[in-house]
Amino acid sequence: MRFMPRDLADQRVTVMGLGHFGGGEGLVRWLMEQQAKVLVTDLADAQRLEGALERIEAHTGRRPDVAAGGHTEAHFTDTDMVVVNPAVPRPWDNPFVQAAVKSGACVTTAMRLLVERLPDRRRVIGITGTVGKSTTATMLHHMLKASGLDARLGGNIGSSLLPSLHTIRADTWVVLECSSAQLWWLGDESPEAPCWSPGTAVTTNIAPNHLDWHGSEAHYRRSKAVLFQHQQPGDVHIEGPLGLNEHIELRVPGAHNQANAALAIAAASTATSVDRQMLAKHLATFSGLEHRLQAIDDGPNPRFWNDAKSSTPQSTELALAALSDRIDRVHLIVGGYDKGVSLDALARRAPQLAGLYCIGATGETIAAAAGRANHVHVCHTLEVAVKRAIEHMAREDVLLLSPACASWDQYPDYRARGAHFIELVQAQLASAPTRSLTDSTP
């Protein structure tokens, strides 16, 4: 397989999967700005791609060619480059990806296109882990910006950095959240070379996850390890959890956020030599992430929490730990797309909770494992879960959406799931107060 030239003008590029989070959209914009001849091929129908295509046209003045509703092998073999969306599972077995490899096309990802073009690998801070990587990455970016440094945040969070690549200077700090799938493509198992690791690598923690993509826990762990395995002399790998020697002043709740903050401060101070106390001072203004243990209602004791970003049992456990002082008052909504990870430990939490409301593809499985007690409800949809939970809530009770599963069975992404939850709760709060929201007994 040949390598792609840095000048992409007039090169034929097939983009496999436009995606839902803006990364594919930004990639296509950038490729078209490089004057590449772009074809987008996606399993989704044309109607679902229309919004992204309209935004691409607004930025570039034209649209890429589009093959919607499925893939055709010729689009992967009669081309110069194939850029694979990292959401495509098990690319080593995918017939279209393998056809591209055998044809001699360059097979790559948006992440590799970015890291190959960054001016200084040593000024990249890469963050991975099973839980906490988004919060840690955002905390890092927040502190660097507050310290007066030029810093960008990208990777597995937000939209692609490729369209703004021309603004990244030699003194710019780049914070990259890296998923296990993105890292696989940067390691020695992928069809592309050479391997890549950042100057500063941060691993929050590792627990079984994304087994539907990787096929095994061992493969998942090997992919995560790519973040630091190819570092060079003088590079740094910081691994959590770190010992918590002091309390860090934060707006966001939970011991897990204290751990995230300690890791972010350690990485920022090591990479940049900014004073740790100054970094901690900046972190006190960090307001948290949307859909990550986000309080919906105002006041000192919020009762409605949106943790829609939770897609693992571990992240849900952390959300429950943050509310541990009133766990017996928590009504928990769980369930969603099945990633092949055991949810039994989460089901065993049911006796400690005020209510467990199970939705999505894994809902019935969780409810069965929980024993189908009176306070365990199979709701199937978020609408039913929110309605039923509020009907059972007493004055001091808390409603927490922390699904422990991906959203793809019912929603295009976790953001849509979280936005729907907020909409449902706010509609309830705006309506005439029900007895369950105002009385001391349900």
What's the pLDDT score for residue 409? 94
State residue 137 phi and psi, 5-degree precision: -65, -40
Higher pLDDT, 363 or 442: 363
pLDDT above 90: percentage of residues in the chain: 76
262 shares a domain with 120: yes
**Domain with 332 in it:** 294-438
Residue 49: CATH number of its domain: 3.40.50.720
**Is 244 within 8 Å of 258 (Cβ atoms)?**
yes
* Rg of the chain in Å (alpha carbons): 23
Q: Give the side-chain half-sphere CA count within 13 A for 414.
A: 22
Tell which of 64, 90, 108 closes a domain.
Answer: 108
| Residue 39 DSSP class | E
For the segment 172-186, what is each residue's pLDDT rounded down to a tens digit? 999 999 999 999 999
pLDDT range class, residue 418, cuts 50, 70, 90 = very high
Q: Enumerate the H helices of 230-331 as residue ranges.
A: 255-272, 276-283, 313-322
Residue 1, in any domain of the structure: no
AA letter at 307: D
Residue 6, in any domain of the structure: no
Residue 2, in any domain of the structure: no
Structure tokens at 183: 């890292």
Integer angstrom CA distances of residue 263 from 78, 179, 252, 356: 46, 18, 15, 32
For the segment 202-218, what is each residue's pLDDT rounded down to a tens digit? 999 998 888 889 999 99
For the segment 228-270, what is each residue's pLDDT rounded down to a tens digit? 999 999 999 999 988 777 899 998 888 889 999 999 999 999 9
Residue 373, in any domain of the structure: yes
Q: Specify the 3-state DSSP secondary structure of 37.
A: strand
Q: Using alpha carbons only, what angle is made at residue 134 by residues 131 and 137, rounded to the nearest 5 degrees?
A: 120
What's the pLDDT score for residue 299? 67
429 vs 432: CA distance, rounded Å: 8
For the segment 40-84, what is each residue's pLDDT rounded down to a tens digit? 999 999 998 999 999 999 999 999 999 999 999 999 999 999 999
What's the pLDDT score for residue 295? 87
What's the pLDDT score for residue 441? 37
Length of the chain: 442
What's the pLDDT score for residue 2? 54
* Strand pairing category for 65-68 and 81-84: unpaired
| Residue 337 DSSP class | B
Q: Specify the 3-state DSSP secondary structure of 152.
A: strand
Tell which of 283, 305, 335 closes a domain.
Answer: 283
Residue 200: CATH number of its domain: 3.40.1190.10
Residue 193, in any domain of the structure: yes
Mean pLDDT of the chain: 91
What mean pLDDT do residues 340-361 have?
93
| Closest-CA residue to 247 (of 258, 231, 237, 236) | 258
AA letter at 250: L
133 shares a domain with 221: yes
Residue 194: is the preceding peptide bond cis (ω within 30°)? Answer: yes
Q: Using alpha carbons only, what angle is made at residue 145 by residues 197 and 260, rounded to the nearest 5 degrees?
A: 60
Examine the pLDDT at 372 and tell me if it is beyond 90.
no
119 shares a domain with 103: no
220 shares a domain with 205: yes
Higher pLDDT, 365 or 340: 365
Residue 427: CATH number of its domain: 3.90.190.20
143 shares a domain with 60: no
Examine the pLDDT at 22 and tell me if it is beyond 70.
no
Examine the pLDDT at 437 and tell me if it is beyond 80.
no
Tell which of 215, 248, 283 closes a domain.
Answer: 283
173 vs 183: CA distance, rounded Å: 20
Say which residues have a Cβ less than 8 Å from residue 231's Cβ, sequence separation at least 6: 197, 198, 199, 201, 237
How many structural domains does the chain have? 3
